[in-house]
Structure 1
Amino acid sequence: MDHLNALLEPGMLVRHPDQPEWGLGQVQSNIGGRITVNFQEQGKVVLDGRVVALTPVFER
């Protein structure tokens, strides 16, 4: 899973496929497969990119 997450960069918008209620998230960092995202409804979350494949959002 983490091969697609490796493309995520700070500032990119994403959604968590298993947590739609978290809303839109902005990537804060992506270091060694640990992705920090600030979600609208959940706040800052650190995710293991090997476990979850975030969905990039290119249009709002």
Structure 2
Amino acid sequence: MEDLNAIATPGMLVRHPDKPDWGVGQVQSNIGGKLTVNFRDAGKVVIDSARVGMMPVYKDD
């Protein structure tokens, strides 16, 4: 799953595939396979890229 998150850069909008109730999140950092994402409804969460592949969000989503 790490490859899916390799393109995640600060400012990018994403969704957690297993937590739709968290809403859209904005990537804060992507360091060493750990994504820090600030979600609208869950706050700041650190995601292990080896376990979860985030879904990119585009303007029209």
Output the TM-score relative to the length of structure 1: 0.97
Name the SS of the counterpart of 2:36 in structure 1: strand
CA RMSD between the two structures: 0.7
Q: Distance in 2 between matches of 1:44 and 1:26?
A: 9
| 5+ long unaligned stretches in structure 1 | none
CA drift of 1:4 comes to 1.3
Could you tell me which residue of structure 2 aligns to residue 56 of structure 1?
56
CA drift of 1:41 comes to 0.3
Greater than 6 Å deviation, 4+ residue runs: none
Q: How many pairs are equivalent?
A: 60
